[in-house]
Structure 1
Amino acid sequence: MQRFRFLGFIIVVFCAIISWSIAIAQPNPQPPLWQVYQRSLKSAKYVDLTHTITPTIPVWAGFGKPKFSATIAPTTGKAYTYSADGFEATHYDLPTDQLGTQLDPPAHWNPDYPAIDELPPTFAVRPLVVIPIQEQVARDPNYAIQVRDILKWERQHGQIPEGSVVFVRSDWSKEWPNPELATRTQFPGVSLDALQFLHLKRKILFHGHEPLDTDSTPTLEGEAWLLRNGYTQAEGVANLDRVPETGALVTIGYPKFQGGLGGYARYIAICPPDWRYGVSVGQLPEAPLAKAAKPLHWDRQLGVRVR
């Protein structure tokens, strides 16, 4: 009897060793979000929807132009240089937080609602909807998207997802960075009815447009309704002709200035792998990044570093 008990013990130990060996040979599967990255995001096409901020960027005259300069060491009164200090830095004189591609928090118009640093982190990634009105704008430069344009889009693509970001493509940004863009009183807009439909009926996170204002009405009625009621919006969005109308995601990044009433934002569209525009992970050097053909240097005439 003892012989059989010992044999049973040996079998149990042997099975345990075999199970442990199999576990070592087959490591735990990747966490679910890592699998999402490997299956979908790694091979996706990435398209930048953001204008570069420069000293000559189009901006409302009431704010004034930004100015760039080399950072000065307070102890010496001289600019940091690669040769003397091993690094350089830039001083930015930005007269407003309403420059270029932006994210407008509602505190821009209403102090009772969140500033840029108070927006929730859940804004980071959302489904992206792009509704085109460039054909209407070609006929009427002051055209504002209407509810009928949204319903037409939905008949083709299905209902706009709740919590998504809706960008309105007008191709207005194709003239960027022409300084005259900021002075025009007629430009593609988003009608108040369309904004209320998107937020109250479709419950989107926010909308975005290419011009630097929501609409060209005398009171900016669309922008006023949005920001005074706790909604955000994107302005100065670019390259909407290079993303699909449906099926993409958008990532949203912006600096976290305390009490900020506007945000220098960066929007990146994550498009399907077979999309004809954009770049995928691995197509360009990333770590380390590739050396440029020419080094950066300060251009006194332009007031900015160039290659």
Structure 2
Amino acid sequence: MCTEECLRHAASPQAAVSRRAALTGLAAAALTVGPARPAAAAAAVPGRHTVRDLTHPFTTTFPTFAPGEEARRGPYKAIPDDGYYMQEWRIVEHTGTHVDAPVHFVPGGRTATQLTPDELVLPAVTISVARRAAGDPDTVLTVADLRAWEREWGRIPTGAAVLLHTGWDRHAANQRYRNADAQGTMHFPGFGADACEWLLSARHIRCLGIDTLSLDPGRSTDYPVHFTLLGADRYGIENLTRLRTVPARGATLVVGLVPWEQGSGGPARILALA
């Protein structure tokens, strides 16, 4: 943003004339080019890969793990009054598509600022239980599922992100996403605790990701996957979307985590290159 000196200069009559002329030119150019189009969910990079966006738009209506944690936003600066546009947000760190850093469940664990760049760009494999989840919202990924996947696709790479496609992202616009029963217990798929332990001990994975509100299944009350994964100094990603578009293996995951100060994780832009 501008310094005070910059703002004083911008407020001068001469600057105002120049600014009006520049804005007029920009407006004319915008009309010539046409309105900007929203970012596509996938874009081809010439000579390289297709980039798939696995991130939900960050909104005030996106479902949260606990009611009342929804993001809030409001006006902060407006072009007619202030010369520029800004919003003010109030968020809980674990809102929308986001990362769980180790400190989220582990006292003294690493924070968002301590996750290193080489941990945030990593090979990814995608395992689907979507067909099973459609009939059983409480289903979990098992060691048997992992062994069956490896028989078809080969060994899960060391240091990989394992992404679980449950198909649950299709419910993100409605109450089915939380899928709470009359007692308030949520029902949606997740990683099984045994599968998490096996992936850490036998395959030395770096990250787990899922297209639901939690790495653990919705009905969990003791969150063993969180404790096991984050306790092993690994991280998780929740509320992914479009995992059906990511190949079973061969993709590279790019985790655009903001280095939030003392962050227990936080909202992130997640991209898959394949």
TM-score (norm 1): 0.69
**1:240 is matched with which residue?**
243
**2:143 is matched with which residue?**
147
Looking at structure 1, the residues matched to 220 and 52 of structure 2 have their Cα atoms a distance apart, in angstroms, of 32
**1:282 is matched with which residue?**
none
**1:82 is matched with which residue?**
79
Q: Deviation of residue 183 (structure 1)? A: 5.2
Greater radius of gyration (CA):
1
The unaligned stretches of length 5 or more in structure 2 are 1-44, 181-185
Looking at structure 2, the residues matched to 62 and 133 of structure 1 have their Cα atoms a distance apart, in angstroms, of 27
Q: Is 1:47–1:243's contact at 8 Å kept on the other side of the alignment? A: yes
Opposite residue 60 of structure 2, the aligned amino acid is P
Q: Is 1:101–1:235's contact at 8 Å kept on the other side of the alignment? A: yes
1:138 to 2:143 alignment: no
Looking at structure 2, the residues matched to 164 and 252 of structure 1 have their Cα atoms a distance apart, in angstroms, of 13
**1:204 is matched with which residue?**
205
Alignment match of 2:223 (pick from 220, 225, 242): 220
Looking at structure 2, the residues matched to 134 and 98 of structure 1 have their Cα atoms a distance apart, in angstroms, of 24
**1:160 is matched with which residue?**
156
**2:60 is matched with which residue?**
55
Looking at structure 2, the residues matched to 157 and 183 of structure 1 have their Cα atoms a distance apart, in angstroms, of 32
Structure 2 residue matching 1:222: 3-state secondary structure: helix
Q: Deviation of residue 180 (structure 1)? A: 4.6
After superposition, the Cα gap between the structure-2 partners of 1:53 and 1:162, relative to the gap in structure 1 and judged at 3 Å, is: same
Q: Is 2:125–2:248's contact at 8 Å kept on the other side of the alignment? A: yes
Opposite residue 84 of structure 2, the aligned amino acid is F
**1:69-98 CA distances to partner (integer Å, 9 max, x unpaired)?**
111xxxxxxxx322343310010011x100
Q: Is 1:126–1:251's contact at 8 Å kept on the other side of the alignment? A: yes
After superposition, the Cα gap between the structure-2 partners of 1:145 and 1:43, relative to the gap in structure 1 and judged at 3 Å, is: same
Looking at structure 2, the residues matched to 61 and 218 of structure 1 have their Cα atoms a distance apart, in angstroms, of 13
Runs of at least 4 residues off by over 4 Å: none
Q: Is 1:56–1:179's contact at 8 Å kept on the other side of the alignment? A: no
Q: Deviation of residue 41 (structure 1)? A: 7.5
**1:150-201 CA distances to partner (integer Å, 9 max, x unpaired)?**
1111111110110111100000111112245235311101001100111110
**2:171 is matched with which residue?**
175
Looking at structure 2, the residues matched to 63 and 258 of structure 1 have their Cα atoms a distance apart, in angstroms, of 23
Q: Is 1:60–1:183's contact at 8 Å kept on the other side of the alignment? A: no
**1:100 is matched with which residue?**
96
Give percent identity, aligned residues only: 28
**1:285 is matched with which residue?**
none
**1:33-91 CA distances to partner (integer Å, 9 max, x unpaired)?**
xxxxxxx87531111001111111101235522111111xxxxxxxx322343310010
Looking at structure 2, the residues matched to 41 and 103 of structure 1 have their Cα atoms a distance apart, in angstroms, of 29
Q: Is 1:41–1:270's contact at 8 Å kept on the other side of the alignment? A: no
TM-score (norm 2): 0.77
1:257 to 2:255 alignment: no
The unaligned stretches of length 5 or more in structure 1 are 1-39, 72-79, 272-307
